[in-house]
Structure 1
């Protein structure tokens, strides 16, 4: 058993990431022996120092307790990707991301167990449609393995992420992720933890979702976590929404006595 800390989108703010790691007990580039960190992707863009974020993670990723996932902001720079950001990453950063992808340091998904509850962890969440296209895996670890095999659906953008067919790097909270799963008549197989987007706007504490999602949601406004009950499971959003200036208050999601499944 160990602590697993899931860190949301960093967005070019290595100072925010460094402070969070210090609070978790990291010393320099070493993680505590009882800590595993899963970072959900979107290390780069928007903030002031994307290369600094990559530098920090490259040092941390030498630790076996670091699990680095891919976000849509990394995927745009990989072979075959289409760059969409207005201020693209420097060539040195692009080369580094492509090397990480080639060597397997960048993964698509992970799975964790907390008590008797299993969670799939990926950047934007696995939509109902994509789960079906994967063959309806019943276990979070099997879903993670299927996504880490890099099927074509992982890069599917859909209608700006609001399309239920959007892949796990692009699906938006609410319309694409939560609503179809809420309408599913079967058993929701596992919980999910994701970054990328949220059904609230933290800076002014407003909601951007249908009433039934809001009725099933709990928001930790200080930590910037959103928990939504979906078919007896929990879907937990951890994107702190750093934007260009960084969030004033946020925390990683820390899962006590957790097991990394894959």
Structure 2
């Protein structure tokens, strides 16, 4: 059992990451899981990568780094962001990918026994079927970490699925219930700056939001989908928190 700290998208905001991560790394029983999108948009992508590189070197078992679509541009996906990383930072991402320091997924179990698959954008029903319909989050994470092509780069795959129209609706509309919960970044169902919902009523009726932490929780057939992207934008969110799971277990 340990304390698992799940950090949402960083988007080049090194100061915001540092403020959240440093207290967690001082706890010897804490494991940080970062859901990807370390880079782009914010003022200091290089600073973010330097911080993560230090943690992956100093305590690799206590930092789980996942890939987001912004990292995917340098690892096999198509380029879409107009401000590319420098060559050294792009090479660093490629080294992490080639040495398995950057993964697609992990799985966790809470103290109450809930299992969550953790990815950048979540897996839809179609993606779950393409994986062979795994019944546990651990199996799903293991299968995703084999880097299945072309699912990994699909516009509704685990790096690109949008929360409301793709991820949640696929499970709400589908004939099967989700076998496990999910924690993801990439997109959300609210505007934090306007404190307003941006999703259909079907999803809103099943959802709650923590405006201060910048998390949303959507219930689908008894399991939870938790979105942790704080939407830092260009300058960083004025307040936000990681998702902290006390007495949890890292499964995969």
The alignment's TM-score, normalised by the length of structure 2, stands at: 0.96
User: After the TM superposition, which residues 113-192 of structure 1 pair with which residues of structure 2 at under 5 Å, given as runs?
Assistant: 113-114=109-110, 115-152=112-149, 153-157=151-155, 166-192=156-182
Residue of structure 1 equivalent to 2:8: 8
Secondary structure class of the residue paired with 2:219: strand
Q: Show CA shifts across 1:122-180 (max 9, x none).
A: 000011100001000000000000000000101112xxxxxxxx100000010000011
Secondary structure class of the residue paired with 1:251: coil
Cα distance in 2 for partners of 1:131, 1:100 equals 26
RMSD value, Cα: 0.9
Q: Show CA shifts across 1:200-237 (max 9, x none).
A: 01000121111010000000000000000011100000
Residue of structure 1 equivalent to 2:103: 107
Residue of structure 2 equivalent to 1:163: none
Please state how far the C-alpha of 1:261 moved relative to its aligned partner: 0.1
Between Structure 1 and Structure 2, which shows a larger proportion of helix residues?
A: 2
Secondary structure class of the residue paired with 1:243: coil
Count of residues in correspondence between the two structures = 248
Secondary structure class of the residue paired with 1:120: strand
Conserved 8 A contact 2:117-2:182: yes
Cα distance in 1 for partners of 2:84, 2:198 equals 28
Query: Which residue, 92, 95, 102 being the options, matches 2:91?
Result: 95
Please state how far the C-alpha of 1:186 moved relative to its aligned partner: 2.4
Please state how far the C-alpha of 1:36 moved relative to its aligned partner: 0.6
Query: Which residue, 44, 52, 68 being the options, matches 2:47?
Result: 52
Cα distance in 1 for partners of 2:157, 2:176 equals 21
The alignment's TM-score, normalised by the length of structure 1, stands at: 0.93
Secondary structure class of the residue paired with 1:61: helix
Query: Which residue, 187, 193, 212 being the options, matches 1:222?
Result: 212
**Displacement over 6 Å in runs of 4+:** none
Name structure 2 gaps, 5 residues minimum: none
Cα distance in 1 for partners of 2:191, 2:86 equals 30
Residue of structure 2 equivalent to 1:162: none
Cα distance in 2 for partners of 1:178, 1:134 equals 18
User: After the TM superposition, which residues 189-228 of structure 1 pair with which residues of structure 2 at under 5 Å, given as runs?
Assistant: 189-228=179-218
Please state how far the C-alpha of 1:14 moved relative to its aligned partner: 1.2
Cα distance in 2 for partners of 1:59, 1:100 equals 13
Cα distance in 1 for partners of 2:22, 2:104 equals 26
Cα distance in 2 for partners of 1:99, 1:113 equals 29
Residue of structure 2 equivalent to 1:34: 29
Cα distance in 2 for partners of 1:174, 1:184 equals 14
More deviation in 125-134 or 177-186?
Answer: 177-186
Residue of structure 2 equivalent to 1:254: 244
Please state how far the C-alpha of 1:93 moved relative to its aligned partner: 0.8
